[in-house]
Amino acid sequence: MIKIHQLSAGHDSANVFSNLNLTLREGEIVSLLGANGCGKTTLLRTALGLHPKRSGSVKVNNQDFHRMDAGQRARLISYVPQYHRLAFGYPVIEMVLMGTQAGKSGWRRPNAADRENAENALELMNIDHLRNRPYTQLSGGQRQLVLIARALAQNTPIIFMDEPTNGLDFGNQIKLLEKIRSLKSQGKSVLFTTHHPEQALSTATRAISMRNGQIAKDGRPRDVLQVEHLRELYQLDERQLPDGYWPTSFINTNTTRQDVA
């Protein structure tokens, strides 16, 4: 579905990542992990065409994603960014409706189907009660829920989420992870970054770790996120991250080898 081939990008003279390859298939829930500053956000933004690449290509359904117009791109991939600043306090319902308009040419009034999509997204994220509140007056976690609702209302086959549980309370984190899992049954593909290996273990069908501008490991979460690898990735010793650190309750044993075949 999406094929990132030999992609390189950076912010100054040095590349953040070089010649990176990554394929995301239909119905995969892929979790991207790595230490602060390893390049997860830069990778997502470069793949989306929001940050300039230095080499390589990104294809979606065998078509060059970066050569598509903004509308085509918006129909294929929605994005929940890590940081989002908005100067104008649009009411929450308008923010979510904006998701339904991404990918449509010209300005037009949202139609009944768009409104239904937006209403469903509000309900799914349990933020119906915030519908008339100005976005700029919401708490960080509430804004995050609105951004996720907006991405869901965009109704794309692929969703990129950059630390989607950031700022969410314990209950909302669990509910969001459950929703991400349910996107798989709708055939959607999700690529989400996280600093919480347990989220990848419980939710993702595949985990990818990044280190030194490269993919370090790629496979089933329970194979990739072994404590030995996490010690290397996050510079921890055996005392800080002992063997047997993960209680089995964290691990989604429904993930099969076929999920990452």
- Compute the distance between CA of residue 41 and CA of residue 32 in angstroms, rounded to an integer: 10
Least separation, in Å, of the C-beta of 76 and ligand ATP? Answer: 22
Record the tokens describing residue 222, joined without a space.
């329970």
Nearer to ligand ATP, 114 or 162 (CB): 162
Closest separation in Å from C-beta 86 to ligand ATP: 19
Q: How many other β-carbons are positioned within 10 Å of the β-carbon of residue 10?
A: 18
C-beta of 39 vs 157, nearer to ligand ATP: 39
CA gap 49, 43 in Å, rounded? 10
Q: Min. distance of Cβ 9 from ligand ATP in angstroms?
A: 9
Cβ nearer to ligand ATP, comparing 16 with 20: 16
Q: How far is the CB of 88 from ligand ATP (least distance, A)?
A: 24
> What's the min distance (Å) between Cβ of 81 and ligand ATP?
11
Residues lying near ligand ATP in the complex (CB under 6 A) are found at 11, 16, 34, 36-42
Residue closer to ligand ATP (CB basis): 33 or 152: 33
Task: Kindly state the tokens that stand for 51.
Answer: 């940050």
Which C-beta is closer to ligand ATP: that of 90 or that of 234? 234
Minimum CB separation from ligand ATP for residue 222, in Å?
Answer: 22
By beta-carbon proximity to ligand ATP, the closer residue of 100 and 209 is 209
Q: Output the smallest distance, CB 5 to ligand ATP, in A.
A: 19
DSSP the chain: -EEEEEEEEESSSSEEEEEEEEEE-TT-EEEEE-STTSSHHHHHHHHHTSS--SEEEEEETTEEGGGS-HHHHHHHEEEE-S----SS--BHHHHHHHHHHTT--S-----HHHHHHHHHHHHHTT-GGGTTSBGGGS-HHHHHHHHHHHHHHH--SEEEEESTTTT--HHHHHHHHHHHHHHHHTT-EEEEE-S-HHHHHHH-SEEEEEETTEEEEEE-HHHHT-HHHHHHHHT--TTTS-TT-S-GGGS-TT--GGGG-
Q: What span, in angstroms and rounded, lies between the C-alpha atoms of 238 and 181?
A: 32
Decide whether 36 or 254 has the Cβ nearer to ligand ATP: 36
